[in-house]
Structure 1
Amino acid sequence: MNYERYYVCDLLNGEGVRVTLFVTGCPHACPGCHNPSTWDRKAGRPFTDEVRERLLDLCATHDGLSLSGGDPLHPANREAVGELCRLFRARYPDKDIWLWTGYRHEEVAELDVLRFVDVLVDGRYRRELPTSKPWRGSDNQRLIRLRR
């Protein structure tokens, strides 16, 4: 898996102060996407064990971890994202994980990684459906609380 960037003090991608990782690789290519530079899964930098550990360490003083992209549930990202979520949950059982995906929940509900995710924002971005709902880019997207 590759990633484009991460934010170490994010107030926009979920509740509280968060560490947010933007992975690369997105099969949806939504017109008007805010992050088209993340579509190519080979773009960005390799997500190494060292990067993963740095992110996990940064989460110690934050409310949670947010995963965006690209699409964290792109087939090429699922294994590394799953491992990150598993390690986060083991280290921080009282903190939460938010994940944005262009897939509908019904399409990915059986993925093992979702057992670690607290909040899923699902659905492709549709610029013709603007919204004022928090944490969503378009009105079709759903905020689904999977845990707690």
Structure 2
Amino acid sequence: MEEKIKIAGIVKESIVDGPGIRLVIFTQGCVHNCIGCHNPETHSFSNGYYMDIEKIVEMVKKDPLLDGITLSGGEPFHQGKVCGILAKKIKDMNLNIVTYTGYTFENLIKEIDINDGWKELLFETDILIDGKFDIEKKSLLLKFRGSENQRIIDVKNSLEKNKVIIADI
């Protein structure tokens, strides 16, 4: 059986959703409902459509300019298992994974064993942009994020050192 991901849409080449040129998958469904969210149409769990992850992998294979994919939303961790499977397939192509989440890194770690798929997705993520969008801390000057409370985290180093390590990008 093919694995399917519920998405709101895909941007084939983006330079604003992580370093380099990225294919961006906007997952459908989010419980955070941040005021001022850039993608409010992704909040409802009943909207969007299902797509085979193999179709996404084929899109990536056809674009030699890509540095990786970005999983955005919505909330990718709501579909952690299938997002993790997709991320692994992309990493096997020597590309990198950026994941946006409204959860904090600390919250993901604390609840990693009780939420299905969180471990799979987090462990395949290279760079995590964490934290809810906070309209009171919004800044258009920030790289790859919308509000000052959000962090750009080097996941591998953070897991190894058991503390948040900010990515040098």
TM over 0.5: same fold?
yes
Decide whether the 8 Å contact of 2:137 with 2:149 is kept in 1. Answer: yes
Deviation per residue, 1:40-80 (Å, 9 max, x gap): 12311102244333343245431111110101012xx1111
Q: Secondary structure at the match of 1:4?
A: strand
Please state if 1:37 is matched with 2:41.
yes
Q: 5+ residue gaps in structure 1?
A: none
Residue 14 of structure 1, aligned match among 13, 18, 28: 18
With 78-87 and 108-117 compared, the bigger mean Cα shift is at: 108-117
Give the greater-gyration-radius structure (CA): 2
Q: Secondary structure at the match of 2:92?
A: helix
Equivalent-residue separation in structure 2 for 1:25 and 1:10 (angstroms): 21
TM norm structure 2: 0.78
Matches within 5 A, 1:45-60: 45-58=49-62, 60=64
Decide whether the 8 Å contact of 1:19 with 1:64 is kept in 2. Answer: yes
How far the C-alpha of 1:24 sits from its partner, in A, is 0.4
For residue 163 of structure 2, what is the aligned residue in structure 1? none
RMSD: 1.6
Deviation per residue, 1:15-60 (Å, 9 max, x gap): 1111111010101001111111001123111022443333432454
TM norm structure 1: 0.89
Equivalent-residue separation in structure 2 for 1:7 and 1:58 (angstroms): 14
Decide whether the 8 Å contact of 2:105 with 2:130 is kept in 1. Answer: yes
**Number of equivalenced pairs:** 144
Please state if 1:138 is matched with 2:164.
no
User: CA, structure 1 residues 140+31, in 2 after alignment: closer, same or farther (shift >3 Å)?
Assistant: same
